Amino acid sequence: MRITVPTARVLAALLADPDADHYGLELMQAAGLASGTLYPILRRLTEAGWLTASWEDVDPAEAGRPARRYYRLTAEGATEARRALAELRAQTTPGSPLGRPATGGGAW
Amino acid sequence: MSDRLARALLDLAVRRSPADVQDDNRREWDAELYALSAEGRTTQALRFAASLAVARHRNGPLLTGRGVWHAVRLIVVAPVTVIVLLAASLVAMSLAPPTSTGSATSLMAIFVAVAAVLLAALGRVWAAGGPLLRIVAVVVPGFAVSALISSWVGPPADHVPTHAMFFGLFAVVLVLASRLARAGRGVAAWTTGILGALLAASVATVLLLWLSLLGTPLPETVVWSQAALWFPSAYTGLPLGLSEDGAWWVADLTEFDPYLFVGFAGLALGVVLGRLAHPVAATDALPSGGPRGR
């Protein structure tokens, strides 16, 4: 999977609590991304099997609000996300043998 | 107002997202927008919806060729069509057997009324977007084109404020009519729209005469107490209670403007009231009494 800067931010936000359910607004704030950037990334990660999506188990009438959609890292997703972020870190560390300048519209 | 705009943007975002996930997207984004609105974070709610509306979705380019064409058709082609039909009415009038000036103007009024009905039908077919976007899509280009045409015919200092007044008032009328239509009150919506358009045209006509006669002595036959009759008289070419000289003054000063009002009103009513989208599909997922209702 192509890991862009915004994707890396989303993965980092998810890995901050890998076993928890996360919802869109929370991830927008944690990753510092706009909604129009975040949701297409979440869809891409879900299609790749890195995330599972589920609806909040809540009665809208009782809670006084609609149910949210939650995202959670899969086991494979957590492993791949850690690996991807580690590679990024290695590539961007000065003096690293893998280090090279980032190119192409923010894609690493 | 901002809540309605956010809803309209979210509606656009859902329609732009891939078809297989539209239902889930609507439910998910609606829940987040609801949370922002409930917390009174109006600006964030608008940003949330606006960002999604312009997002580049996978399998869905920023703007599809079809979407661009529908937007161009509504924003550019439709106003130009109004002008073409009004010009055709003018040509048809000039081809009619020669009669008095008044009866020629009455003939023009009939042609323009027919054109307005055709434009309403066309607007119904060409309508695109949510209720608020439709209003913006007809009011803004309508004002730009009609102000341009009328400024070409007469002094811009008189005509531009006149058309700003007409489209400003008419926008309010369209909002009210749109609400009635979405509440299932179609007849009330059309009645409000038509009467509101005539009222806006009357007010704009009074403003035009006031601006045109500013700083000059008022002709004795132009009486302010008869101002309500100026627009109908100018449009139909009939005195309708005005003196013959007064009716001539009014028709002379208003020039082409009454026809522009009627033509654009026909198109706008067709776009805004014709074939209205499903009221607000996402309301099903929400509890009653939430911020949506505000």
Return the pLDDT at B102: 58
Token pair in block for residue A99: 């280090």
Residue A68 resides in a domain = yes
Count of CB pairs separated by less than 8 Å, A with B: 75
Instruction: Tell me the chain A residues in contact with residue B57 when contact means C-beta distances shorter than 8 Å.
Output: 40, 43
What CATH number is given to the structural domain containing A66? 1.10.10.10
Give me chain B's average pLDDT, please: 84
Residue B203 CB coordination number (10 Å): 19
pLDDT bin (cut points 50, 70, 90) of residue B171 is very high
Give the distance from residue A92's alpha carbon to the nearest chain B alpha carbon, in angstroms. 28
Chain A contacts to B (CB-CB under 8 A): 23-25, 28, 34-37, 39-40, 43-44, 53, 55, 60-61, 63-69
Residue B57 has pLDDT above 90, yes or no: no
For residue B32, give Cα distances in angstroms to A45, B45, B283.
20, 9, 14
State the Cα–Cα distance between residues B113 and B116, nearest whole angstrom. 5
Return the pLDDT at B39: 87
Residue A101 has pLDDT above 70, yes or no: no
CB B277 within 8 A of CB B131: yes
Q: Which residue has the higher pLDDT, B263 or B65?
A: B263
Beta carbons of B24 and A43 less than 8 Å apart: no
Q: Which of B14, B28, B41 should be substituted to probe chain A, the one whose Cβ sees the most A Cβ atoms within 10 Å? A: B28
Q: What percent of chain B has pLDDT over 90?
A: 44
Of B36, B52, B286, the CB nearest to A36: B52
Q: Which residue has the higher pLDDT, B220 or A27?
A: A27
The tally of domains found in chain A comes to: 1
Return the pLDDT at B63: 52
Residue A33 CB coordination number (10 Å): 20
Instruction: Tell me the chain B residues in contact with residue A60 when contact means C-beta distances shorter than 8 Å.
Output: 285-287
Token pair in block for residue A8: 């890396």
Residue A19 resides in a domain = yes
Residue A79 resides in a domain = yes
Residues B70-94 have pLDDT tens digits of: 888 999 999 999 999 999 988 888 7
State the Cα–Cα distance between residues B225 and A53, nearest whole angstrom. 68
Residue A108 resides in a domain = no
pLDDT-wise least confident of A18-22, B1-5, B147-151, B233-237: B1-5
Give me chain A's average pLDDT, please: 85
Residues A62-87 have pLDDT tens digits of: 888 899 999 999 999 999 999 999 98
Q: Which residue range forms the structural domain that includes residue A21?
A: 5-89
Return the pLDDT at B98: 62
Beta carbons of A66 and B287 less than 8 Å apart: yes
Please state the rounded mean pLDDT for residues A92-105: 55
Residue B49 has pLDDT above 50, yes or no: yes
Residue A60 resides in a domain = yes
| Cα separation of the two ends of chain B | 9
Of B30, B35, B58, the CB nearest to A43: B58
Q: Which residue has the higher pLDDT, B271 or A63?
A: B271
Beta carbons of A65 and B57 less than 8 Å apart: no
Residue A98 resides in a domain = no
| B31–A contact, CB cutoff 8 A | yes
Please state the rounded mean pLDDT for residues A89-102: 64
Return the pLDDT at B282: 34
Beta bridge mates, A69: A55
Residue A104 resides in a domain = no
Residue B145 has pLDDT above 90, yes or no: yes
Return the pLDDT at A105: 37
Report CA dihedral (A58, A61, A65, A68) to the nearest 10 degrees: 30
Residue B291 has pLDDT above 60, yes or no: no
Q: Is the pTM of this model over 0.90?
A: no
ipTM of the complex: 0.83
Residue A25 resides in a domain = yes
